[in-house]
Amino acid sequence: MKPLFAPIAWTLSAVSLCMALTAARGQAQDVQKSQWNGHEQLTFKVGGRSALLVVPASPAAGNPWIWRTEFFGVDPQADVALLGKGFHVAYIDVGGMFGAPAALDAMDGFYDHVVKNHGLAAKTVLEGFSRGGLYAMNWAARHPDRVACIYLDAPVCDFKSWPGGGGRSRFAGREWRQLLQAYGMSEEQARAYTLNPVDNLEPLATAKIPILCVIGDRHDHIVPIEENALKVEERYKTLGGEIEVIKKPNGGHRPHSLPDPTPIVDFVVKHAGVPEPAEPVATP
């Protein structure tokens, strides 16, 4: 005789299957499609956070991608040019968290999602504008095996400098309070912190991650270059790391990028391992 609970178990299994299928359909329906600079943009949520992926018209071999860690769409010259080279452009909103561990956890979930569900390359190109430098460099130190190269632009590499105002930068009180909350630190703990990007470059150097840094050649009143980008350059070279710094004549903190982003694009394409397109074979 069959046990009396068998029909109940079957019913529960069927319900679970139906719920799973419904959830899967719901997930697909949650993806919104739009256009960004002539390319398809997919907008969705990962772990409750807004995220997006811009898809190139002709993806390059291996599905390379560049990950803007903050300020998506600001001075996007390089991103637009890389879309033309077959790169995807990605972003998840972890704003207001200044590269804290909780932000890195959310970035982990986003990375897993786009690699598994969109087939993107296992190694990404990280792009850190201003405070985005904290996210890019901290995530790279956590996962150096997942990073092909890093492009920084007027980056924050020491939060004691900005927003902390510990050097030549003006103290940014609202952002500093947000940072303390995001890191779960007291004022004293933050001032004594030793894992800012300027302090934690060895994992990147050991993994031989190339870095490109674009900065202005005069005093950056917001994110002083001598406390951030130039300190990273000096220390990274001491560790044997590969770093290139481009100084924009008469440049400060903004605008970001370069009017002609070719040097940025060439750096990214070279280190992301994208094969050059084959030359057409001449016919007799």
Which pLDDT tens digit goes with each residue over 65-83?
999 999 887 889 999 999 9
> Is residue 56 over pLDDT 70?
yes
Percent of the chain past pLDDT 70, that is, above it, reads 83
On average, the pLDDT of the chain sits at 86
Tell me the pTM. 0.85
Least confident of 99-113, 144-158, 269-283: 269-283
pLDDT of amino acid 166: 86
- What proportions of the chain, in percent to the nearest 5, are helix, strand and coil? 40, 20, 40
Nearest to 110 by CA among 127, 94, 98: 94
pLDDT of amino acid 3: 45
pLDDT-derived band at 108, boundaries 50, 70, 90: very high
pLDDT of amino acid 64: 97
Mean pLDDT along residues 55-67: 96
Q: Where are the domains of the chain?
A: 30-271
Chain segment 190-239, per-residue pLDDT in tens: 999 999 999 999 999 999 999 999 998 776 678 898 999 999 999 999 99
pLDDT of amino acid 167: 82
Query: Which H or E run includes 49?
Result: strand 49-55
Amino acid at 64: P
Least confident of 17-21, 63-67, 201-205, 238-242: 17-21
SS3 track for 217-237: CCCCCCCCHHHCHHHHHHHHH
d(CA 193, CA 179): 12
Task: Tell me the CATH number for domain 30-271.
Answer: 3.40.50.1820
Six token digits for residue 206: 């050991």
d(CA 109, CA 71): 19
Locus of tokens 């972003």: 91
Helix/strand/coil for 199: helix
pLDDT-derived band at 252, boundaries 50, 70, 90: low
Chain segment 150-202, per-residue pLDDT in tens: 999 999 999 999 999 888 888 889 999 999 999 999 999 999 999 999 999 99
pLDDT of amino acid 16: 41
Six token digits for residue 76: 């996007």
Percent of the chain past pLDDT 90, that is, above it, reads 69
Helix/strand/coil for 99: coil
pLDDT of amino acid 258: 80
> Is residue 40 over pLDDT 60?
yes
Locus of tokens 């894992």: 195
> Is residue 136 over pLDDT 60?
yes
